[in-house]
Structure 1
Amino acid sequence: MPVFDNTNFLVIDESQNREGEAGGSSAAEIGRLISENGGRATFCDPAGCFGFIDQHKITHVITETAGFADEAAATETMVPVTTGKWVWDSVALAQKRNYRLYAPSPAPFMDKVVVCVADNVAQGDKDTIYAGVRAFGGQYLDALLRYTTHLVALDLTNNKLVVAANIRRKDTGDICIVLPHWIDACVRQQRHVLETPYLLSNPKVLQTGKPDFSADGGEPAPEISKLAHTLVLAHKSVYLADDFAVYLADDFAFSEHLRAAIVSLIETLGGTVQHQFDLGHIDVYIGKHRLGAQFQQCFAAPRIDVASLHWLFHIATQGHYIRPLESNVLHFPIPTRGVPQFQNLRISITGISGDARHYLAGLIAAMGGTFTKTLDCNNDYLVCAQRLGDKYHAAHLRWPDVRLVNHLWIEECFSTWLFLDATDSRYASISSLTQPLGKTRLSRTSLEGTSLAEHIIPLDVDDSVGDSMAEQDGAERFAGSASLSPVMQSPKTQSPAIQPPAPPSPLPVARFSSFKTAENSQLTDFTQENSKTPDIFTPSPGEVVVVDTTSLSSPVTSQVRAGRSAKAKASLKLHSDMKDLNQYTSMSKSSRKMKSYMEQLEKTATPSKKKRESADASEPEPVQPTPKKQKTDTEVHLVAILTGCEQILTLTKSDVSKLLKVGIRIVNDYNPKKHIDTIVAPRVLRTEKFLKSLSKAQKIVHPSFLSDILSRHTLTSLSWSELIKEFNIEDYLLDKVVPVKQINDDLGVSGKASGLQRLLSQDLPPVFKGYALNFSLNLVGGADLISSILREHGLSDSKTVKFTAGTRKSGLLSMDGGTTILVAHKTKDKKAASKIEGVTVVEWEWCVKSIFHKKAQEYESYII
């Protein structure tokens, strides 16, 4: 399937505004690339595209700079806005990339930031940090991976910090370990603040007691709110009106430093914060839940806007004021009780990615349902954008119990807080005529009818990166195929209902309308816990800094005072842990020191149990070594590698273990020295794993083979012969599940017979045996990656060259017959290719089609 199949692009042609600039791709080049890969492009200049998104059913906007005329509509409907480089990279990798990594200029201040928060930070602070980071252009992962850029922690007493040090050592990447105060400073100043004063190893922010530092990390910045206000207004076209009075509800259990950051942000936007509830002096009430007397009084006063923290972040990023009930449904506080019928529902999504997917997942979780990234036969609903994709076909053809609905069903269930009939034609219709996502609004009538006698359902923290690293169904994500699949889910246990006082009589209406309107955004809501801020100290010169910041965000759970002895022990333990960690980090940088340390450890290690037994015995006897328990090796009958399966199947460690027990070994990455006989993929792909594994694989099976096996409750009791009899692998071969025509189209093969038969033949020699190829530096993905793929298919020698008009045949590798082949970029190397003589210059497609045909193709169709 083409990368941009059924995708409508709006390409902003900025050529008139960029005359004389070097580099970049023209709108025409981008349009051609989109068309060649199945998409449709509509072109327009930045000022003349107003209304195009709705008129042309646009799904993606391509622009190098923000500020085009229809940007508000893109924000409202959560249409991805990205750059031309995203198009090039998506085509090169044969899958839609995470568009949030390709932000148009000016990029948001959290651009390229991927945050992970340590487990000892209060849940309320953690959720708010994640929401803020995502709102201002960053992403988050609640598990530490090599993609994490910042770990937010309070002290050294957490496992994630040790893991972060290990990741930094192995992958030579720097994970900044910072205090939550760094996030606070970024929010206050509305810019990416230098991390140095906030590093946990030397937290100047705590030593000085100053919350903000200058851009270079030096002295604390004076009058930071005025500075931030100036910085914000420099990037906004509309000056926000001053002195709108905001009241932050008590159901936000922020830590003191985080609450101060939110207050500062409000002041930065031109508002003031009311610390005492006074209905007559409040213009905006910001709360988490639709609960309590204060909420009811403010909601009953039409002049007061009742909003959520999502709304505050939204107007901060957009630079416009908009009333919450006239924007995104998440811009209003949510009920504290889920929709009862949603409690046990498992709901997955297909054809919707990025912010839109994150938004729908938040609605599902808020109503009490479970959002699953993957689809299996246990799902109840699949939200579809179109009748395409592996998930759709699996639900439609294999699992009739999975009900298909459009996004409108989720949005209107949320807006009415009712379980609506999914068989209604408005929700069962899956077509482009459905109301665009993000257009649903809350009505005051439905809100007044919502019961307020509710109990709280906290939301689990989900990752913002996992869903969006690759957009399309079946695309391969960065985290690997055999990884955990986080879900957004509400707990099964519920607290007793809280009965609030009856709402007061309506107050006189005085419409609050001193702000201009704009569009909406989306975030997830958060769960808060009480916390407090510790005293600030200044260490003496030369003293080892040990910062006990546990109380910064930890909830106060007891009034019993801990003894001084216990406190002293804890302090010593923390000091010792920090010293050990520093020593270990230092040693890990030197292989000689680490080797010496391990040898010393082996010599000094003495089993304490044997010592005690020897001391207690009246007559010492020779100690017999306890025989080690022999590990029984399970016979392996099938070794498989997964690629592009994430939208259908994501394996947990438990799943991998179960499969191994019945004779199926799953490998995460391709290794030329290890055996692989099976590729598990939903279709013919062009990923690195797929292309390399074709050199060894004997069969390609659909991921439903593994998902059906894992759905069997008594799996481990089966022998291999019983398993194969019940789940005949021949029935799951890719050309038995996917139409042969689609497979042949993807392979570029003609005829009615499946092209997989020749592709998987082990009798044919390697495609590139005896070939010596040259690779241009301009190749997307890198010459080294392409060379490594072709070496698995017999490539003898290769050379990477900077292909220019001055490149000559004498500087290139030639084959025995004198033929010189240069694999180059179809567009970027076109000019140089026209001037070189005696060299056959072909595009990367020649290599791919040669692999798919199991035979080197003629050059003519691929010459640049």
Structure 2
Amino acid sequence: MASALLDGLPTEAPAAPRKKLQYADVAVTATAKDFAGIYRGKQYHEPDFDAVLERAAAVGVNRVLLTGMYLSDVNINLEVARRRKEQCRITIGVHPYHAVEADEGGDQYYHDLAQLVNNTLEEEPELLGAYGELGLDYDHLAAASKEAQIRVFKQQLDMIVSNDWNLPLFLHCRAAFDDFIATLVPYLHQLPLKSGLVHSFVGTIAQMQVLIDLGLEVSVNGFSFRDRESLDMVRAVPLEKLQIETDAPWGDIQVTSEVAKAYMKNVTKLPYVAKKKDKFVMGEMVKERNESYSNADVNNASFASADMEDTTMLDESKGLFGELSFTIIPNGLSEDRLDQLQNDIAAANGTILPFDASKGRIERLEEISYIISTTSDFPDYYRALDLMIHVVKPTWVDQSLKGNKMKNPRSYSPDPALFMSDVIICCGNLPSGDKEAIQGGVLAMGGQFTEQLSKTVTHLISLDLDDNKCQVAISKRLNLAIVLPHWFDDCLKVGRRISERPYTLPDPDILNVELSTVPTARTSQQIRDATTPDPANEPVPQTLSARSEAPRAIQAFSGKKVKLGEDLNLNSRLRGIISGMIKNGGGDITTKVQQADIYVCSYREGEDYVRASQDGKDVGNLSWLYYLITHNVWTNPMRRLMHYPRPREGVPGFEGFKISISSYTGEARVYLENLVRACGAEFTKTFKQDNTHLVAAHKNSEKCEAALEWSVNIVNHLWLEDCYAKCKLMPISDNRYTYFPSRTNLGEVLGQTEIDRDATEKLFFSTSRKPIKPAKAPAAPPGPPADSLAHNLSMSRTASDSVARSSPAAERVRRTKTTEADATPLPVRHADGKENNTPGSRGAKDRALSKLHNAADDIAAFEKEMKRKGGVIHGGKRRAEDEVEDRAKKAKGGRDSVSSKRSADELDQGDRSDEEEIEAPTRNKKAKKDKLEPIKYRMLISKDERWAGNMEKESKDKARLRELGLFITEDFKKVDILCAPQAVRTKKFVAAMACGPALVGSSYLDFALRNNKLPPPEKHAMDVRDFEKEHGFKMAEAVERALQNRHRLFRDWTIFCTDKVPGGYETYKDIIEANGGKCSLWKGRTTNITATRRIINASAGEESQNQKEDEGDVLYLISDANSNEFTNWTKFRDLAKKHNMVPRIVKTEWLLINAMAQYVHWKPEWELTEEVVKAAKP
């Protein structure tokens, strides 16, 4: 009769197996003392674990997972796995029993643990099966408290995420289910591999279901059959989520138990005798000690209680890629590489579905699991993404097979948007906040991050070569780049992977202030044969020799029909040549778009364009067609901007723009010229004062200097490309478009922007859009649209200027006899509201006001731009400069005077290429223009309110001062004169003191503007008497010390600062960096910054004499006097003591006064302590 335990369960034992079964025991603790012959602290026999494994193999247990309990057992398990590679795998981790050991070991313990994981993944990845055992066990709180267990559990999860270990989790949960779930769930979405096994699970059906719903699996052993609740849970586990284990040397099924009596009758027995431990015989089992030999017992109990058929627990033939199907895109792969990939996938039991390069399409795409491709440039790429099919580079196959684990597909994606996909970053001794930012950024951009240095690392980020990891990389000659963190920052800022060369240690160019040139960039491969939408020459087909040498790729025309659009305006001869070349490539010509696979046209308009686009056909322009003919390789026409039909009217908002370019040469220059015109703007080879934009590869050029003086917008090519790609005027207030990494030529990343598919569909061929019939001729419209803001403003401006006859700009217009109809409207160059000047007559005024009313939306956007630093997108200070020029003309007897450094008509271009034609300046033979006075002084102004709320007056005054040789700057790192009513503690003033500037009062500006000449600075010295009396030092001496220091007062200093300081962290960061130091944000987190004693070396420079009061061993934290900061202070003191330094927490006055005095000194009242803060409270 069945017992109550088995009441209602199957009563018959499974039949004896008809063939030898194969098993995997997923939990064995090889380092348990029982296997070493030690029981309750006494040695009874010699270690015999190898014999245990031999017995397991004899009964078909061909896979055994050796679980890691703590740090010191890793090497023991590794030695076993090395001896028995075919049978054993290991896990590495910290069991909750050993949480106290990890807690007490601290950072060093986790560092050593991570090092072991990384070394194993690098050198013997096939031996590492999972990370663990980690989790919670509240049945044994005597070993570790709940708090300690949770803390160690979280620390390990953090370590897995930060190292991007693509390993399943080997988890432990006993009597702690709620805390286990609460701790684990927040990490699941961050884990590189979202899978794991909760081993030796004993719980309810509801708890088991929670685990299954989270994507986890469970394994059972003898503990799972000791009560009815657990038995019912085992019965409810889905078969595909159930694994079996022995948990040896524990967890055995007692032979006298009801489960054993009912379900183990037919288990195959081998001639092994179990002896007592004190009568041990090598090769025999030990009574009361469980081992993998009994895995069959667990199998029978599991499946008999669930009333299932006998099942083979391990299918050795499955392979890593079993049940997965692959297609390989041949583009860019050699025959040998293609064959290698196919053989490797087949060897891992993957299924290869052949790709027909002649058709270029993947048949049965829905059946594909992975597409292997070096590029996203194949026809079915976006459809594959829609179907959630992984597209990975060939290296994904190599790395997955090497580690015997499938890698994260995102890290091997060929998507060009994931520009870090080939990058594996390791950081040296950087602050933890910086590391976290780098880790998040590289993972978001498709790269990988690891804490430990290994051979797979491509980039090591460090501040200097003294870092331990740098020394290891150099000594082992690892093939990686050692770069400053600035490289990664700049990559993220521009959204492209830029060259590492200027950031590479030991002598990074970006830190060399003496370098004034930026290296030239090689022509980007992305714009090869894609620089113009209208190629001038006939296409040149690929030669037979080149075709025979080229690797297999998607053929351009094979089996495809091409329709040539009417707007191509091809003559019969050229049409015949193109048709012949298409037919030679295996294609054909059709006159019906319905029959076409490819449609070629010039503009994004017309019924054929809309229909072909909506039907998903390939739509490109003549340049794209020539590319296909030349290379006989298919490429997506949206991949390159100049391969897709252009909008006939250009990009809305570009009307009236005049754009020039700087520091681009050769094909890059041609590409940008055509891109400007395709956007609908006017391209000018010469850079003039009436240009609205300058597209630059870097800022180290004369054009950029002139643009700054003329208030012309300086943008990089990313702005122009994005505007065209989205067919939308993008705001230049986006820092990505105005950022120029120092010592980097952005020409190296030219052409990497693709046409925005969603924006193009929405604007030009959405399903709700009716086709627009093409115009009969491609001529441009007679003028800008009626509701164009630029047009309205220029109309108002022209009428107004016709009345103001004394304006030099108006006189130039009359001399050249340019009418409004054929002239490009000049946008207003100031932001004070004068663009609303009305015409001279009432009728014209009414018409202008009416147009402005119609353009209300544009005006709102325009006024928003006006608030942006530097003015509106249309440029600088034209009216103010015109008036200055007019006054100067009268003062000099009627002669024209320029109002900027260069001629208002033309800049003599020092950075032009050989291909560029320089337009001759238009000069009045009767008028001789004087050259502008070169910059004599650069002045920074602080706390002078003369221009507050009056932008027009500010513009005029600054233009007048520039004519006198005084340039007003906001750059506090390059200042000759510092002007303020008195010594003030603003960021600009304090940071500028590092330049050693002359200190002048506001009277200096008064005199210059009143007398039209610059006075000697010493005649208008700043009144600093009260400041000097208060702080006890002379400002004149501070200036002398600044000249000695040369921006190096805090050289080699790392100063910490909290984010709660008055004025904000960035204020003090700028001041410290202006003086050559490094500022790190302190939030109380663990940091890897190396804080060492500073050695004052007199031979290092004159600045050393101004650091004499620096004790060298003091670590500073700038903070606010607030009790909320106390926790941060405590952790900061711990950091300082860890590095054998003295912590000193200071008020902001310490930095401000030291930076203003330009020598390091100390006053006790600057120090912050808890007692000081408490005493200050009322």
Scaled by the length of structure 1, the TM-score of the pair is 0.31
Higher helix share: 2
Larger RCO, structure (CA 8 Å, separation 6 or more): 1
Flag the structure with larger Rg: 2
